[in-house]
Amino acid sequence: MLLTPNEMGNIMEANEKMGKCNTSNRTIIAWVEEQAKLCQPDEIFWCDGSESEKVLLTAEAVDKGILIKLNQEKLPGCYYHRSNPNDVARVEQCTYICTETRDEAGPTNNWAAPKEMYQKLLGLARGSMHGRTMYVVPYLMGPLGSPLTKVGIELTDSIYVVLSMRIMARMGDVAYKHLGNRDDFNRGLHCMLDVNPERRYICHFPQDNTIISVGSAYGGNALLGKKCLALRIGSYLGRKEGWMAEHMLILGVESPTGEKTYVAAAFPSACGKTNFAMMIPPAHFKGWKIWTVGDDIAWMKPGPDGRLYAINPEAGYFGVMPGTNYKSNLNAMKSIQKDTIYTNVALTPDLDVWWEGKDGPPPKECLDWRGNKWTPESKEKAAHPNSRFAAPMINNPMLAPEANDPSGVPISAIIFGGRRADTMPLVFQAFNWIHGVYVGATMGSEMTAAAAGTLGQVRRDPMAMLPFCGYNMGYYFHHWIIMRKLIKYPPRIFHVNWFRKDANGEFLWPGFGENMRVLKWIVDRCKGRANANETPLGWVPGPESFDLGGLEGYTPEKLSQAQTINYEDWRRELLQQDELFMKLYSNLPKEMIFQRELLVSRL
């Protein structure tokens, strides 16, 4: 790899720091020494988050074949990574919540007793970094100075994880500055081992604020600040400390007059979450803007004025590549044009990247995500269905100016939604907070072709948190209900479904940027400017409530069809909802049972 004189100078400067401790926090130093004694690395590299360090580690990753330097004219600062073919996604079956009692973890989580799991993990970690470097990665989840921000220290033997954590979190000495001499940081240990699925464990110890991940190098399993701390540990801490860690995007809606309204939304996978967070309003909505605060995770806490405030704890986007293009997500495409790490996409001969759904024709020849020759005639996909990009949020041209505000943004609406071909109307509003909790708790989404299970089968995913809640889901519903007492002016709660189809299997709503029309009604409802009709499900807009101007070929009749409430479908829906409630029955809040009975009576 050819380096510029500046890069060489930066490498020499960073080399002088290599292995040197850069914190005076004695608790951190003692913990790192203890873990180093266990893992026995050849050397310890204390990361500081500097640009010179980035240059050094990137050059080392390229030299070792962990990263491939992409075409710098087309993609400046971008690199390519292939993971082990057996390590390409989150593994729910290997993910554990380790609490003192099984009840604390609940029936929807894998549980293990902490003592036994610690013994197993420490046995696997013992000597695992011999011949390798242990990287000490200090990071912040949340803006510097925010009362919600948490400090994590991840110890890892993966240089790919280090470089990805630089993107996804506020990594470096800034974390030590925020922590000071306190000892309340998340302790994270990540050991790749030999990436053997038989020895793969992602374990959370909420009562110790500790995460140990072994046997995987995939982002969702190895970037311990993301799902592990931000949601599983975060949700446990939120319940304990009086705030909420949610699998939600945060966006700001700005009207032509400059009025800003902030919305949080929870969608399961394959439901357009990132597209919604980075939505571009259609041309008809001249002067309207959508600002992205975050695309995946929201931490929310009542503010002194009685409203619910949210921060995005992350600093980057870890998005799915297939299907991402200039039509589906213009801002995402602009965000990945520089300083991005691409994982498990296809690699073209001129060192560019390609994936199914990218703009333009496929390359005549390239290397697929496994490194094998690929042509358009190949039977296998060129990019893995879960191929990813890690891009800094500062690359987003519509990044909200408030994204780094320590106080967060006031949330006016919370939106739940799933992928449903029938039953669920395009949009409705819950009658009140408790009804909204019931709507979120019964949320479901159809499995896609890439998911395990039956195509089209509805999987219950309460608040899109089923794989990410770090404690008993019944207690989680309780926490939502208790939070209402702490919020003087609670957000309004809505449910949307962009994916309803007609009898011919055609979508009844165009989706993408046209979702702005639904979002505007939601904002207007929050501001008291829009009418709605009462139905058994909640408040729904009438056909006249939507501005359909500029939407060629779309009729009020089609909109009415998208909003239809089919009573037979809803009788089946109620029976299906019972499956999850029965699993959680011993800890299910009575309010959920009452809300179900009220819905039955209204139907």
Residues annotated as catalytic (active site), given as ranges: 271
Residue 101 counted as an annotated binding residue: no
Indicate the DSSP class of residue 491. Answer: P
Q: Is 205 annotated as a binding residue?
A: no
Query: Does the annotation list 270 as a binding residue?
Result: yes
274 is in an annotated binding site: yes
The reply, when asked if residue 416 is annotated as ligand binding, is: no
Residue position matching structure tokens 């993990």? 121
Which two structure tokens, joined as six digits, stand for 52? 């010179």
54 labeled part of a ligand binding site: no
Tally of CA atoms within 13 A in the half-sphere of 235 that contains its CB: 30
Specify the DSSP element, H or E, that contains 301. Answer: strand 298-302
Please compute, for residue 103, the number of CA atoms within 13 A of its CA located in the half-sphere on the CB side: 5
User: Does residue 512 have a known ligand-binding role?
Assistant: yes
Give the span between the Cα atoms of 313 and 147, in whole angstroms.
12
- Residue 387 labelled as part of a binding site: yes
User: Does 514 count as an annotated binding residue?
Assistant: yes
Tell me if 218 is assigned to a ligand binding site.
yes
Residue 19 · residue 43 · CB < 8 Å:
yes
Q: Is 515 annotated as a binding residue?
A: yes
234 is in an annotated binding site: no
**Number of helical H runs and strand E runs in the chain:** 17, 31
Q: Which CA distances in Å does 530 have to 519, 521, 540?
A: 12, 7, 11
273 marked as binding residue: yes
264 assigned binding-site residue: no
Please, how many CA atoms are within 13 Å of residue 141, restricted to the half-sphere of its CB? 26
Q: Is 566 helix (H, G, I), strand (E, B) or coil?
A: coil
Annotated binding-site residue? 269: yes
Residue 524 annotated in ligand binding:
no
Q: Residue 414: which H helix or E strand, with range?
A: strand 409-417
227 is in an annotated binding site: yes
Tokens of 501: 């189809």
Instruction: Give strand pairing partners of 46.
Output: 136
Residue 386 annotated as binding?
yes
Q: From 463, 459, 414, select the one nearest 438 (Cα to Cα).
A: 463
How far is residue 592's CA from residue 439's CA, in Å, rounded to a whole number? 10
Decide: residue 60, CB within 10 A, 0-12 exposed, 13-18 middle, 19+ buried: middle
Positions at the binding site: 90, 218-220, 227, 247, 269-275, 296, 386-388, 419, 512-515
Positions at the binding site for substrate: 90, 218-220, 269, 386-388
Positions at the binding site for GTP: 270-275, 388, 419, 512-515
